[in-house]
Structures are given as structure tokens and as C-alpha cells.
Amino acid sequence: MPVCEVRDPVDVFHVQRSVSKAAAALGFEKRACSELAIVGSELASNILKYGVSGHVEIAAVEDEHGPGIALVATDRGPPFRNLDAAMRDGWDDRGPIDPVDMLKRKGIGGGLGAIARLSHSFRVEQLDGGKRIHVVRYLVPPRKKRRSERTKA
């Protein structure tokens, strides 16, 4: 499965298309493929907005929850100041987003929350000089919705 470099806005569409194709090849239904394309798009656009550059890895997984797809976005850039704040819709990692700033920043502050809601597993890893976000979505949702796992370095 592919590793998609993210350096330019057009790369967001490449990630989105690659995730959708990979999900379809793994047997995900059309709606799930569309939702996963949103996850890939949000991960890639966040790399451009908040990091210097990075990449998104797409991989098939199979574990105790069954088969699925994993997306791992790694960027080179600043760490989250406050991950809990960044997870809230309408907020960034500093707190509530002023509506006047939403157009300038090209987003409403709902990306990380959407990524977590459309995935079965979500984990953030702070790296020296960047961060990594791991998400997994399974073909068949696990019986219990797993809580987000947050790792702060």
C-alpha cells in the first residue's frame, strides 16, 4: 500500500484518492470509503496547515478486531500545545477559534474530531520535531467503541 508525500495542496487530493482506492480494494463499502477519504484528506491537510511537510502511510491491518485499514500521518513541525483542546470542534490547540479567523486559517477546527469519529482507533504520538497520528478503521466495527488513545511525549 502507498506512502503519500504531502508537500503541496494537490497532495491532499492524492492522499484522498489513494485512501479511497485502498479501502475499496480491502472490501469497505462505498460510504466507508468516502468516510475514510475524509480522514485521509483531513490528515493530509493538517500536515500542510500545521507542519512543514510530511507523509501519510496507508496499510492493510489485521488484528484481534479483524481486517481493516490503518492510516499513519507523520509531519515535521510543532507539537500540539494542547491535544484535548485541538480535539474539540471549533477549537485549535490554543482554545476556541475566533470565527473571523476561520476563513484565513482555511478550516473550522473540526478536522481532528472528525478523524477520531470516523475511525475505530485514534492515537497521537509527539515526536522530536513533529508528530504522528495513527488511525485504524475496521471492516466490521469492534463490539465496543474504543476510547481514543492519546500519547503525549
Please compute, for residue 32, the number of CA atoms within 13 A of its CA located in the half-sphere on the CB side: 18
The candidate with the shortest Cα–Cα distance to 58, out of 111, 13, 21, is: 21
- What are the start-end ranges of the E strands in 87-129? 91-92, 95-96, 121-127
pLDDT (tens digit per residue) in 26-82:
999 999 999 999 999 999 999 998 888 999 999 999 999 999 999 999 999 888 888
First to last CA, the chain: 28
How many CB atoms are closer than 10 A to CB 116?
Answer: 20
pTM recorded for the entire structure? 0.85
pLDDT (tens digit per residue) in 92-129:
777 777 777 767 776 666 788 899 999 999 999 989 88
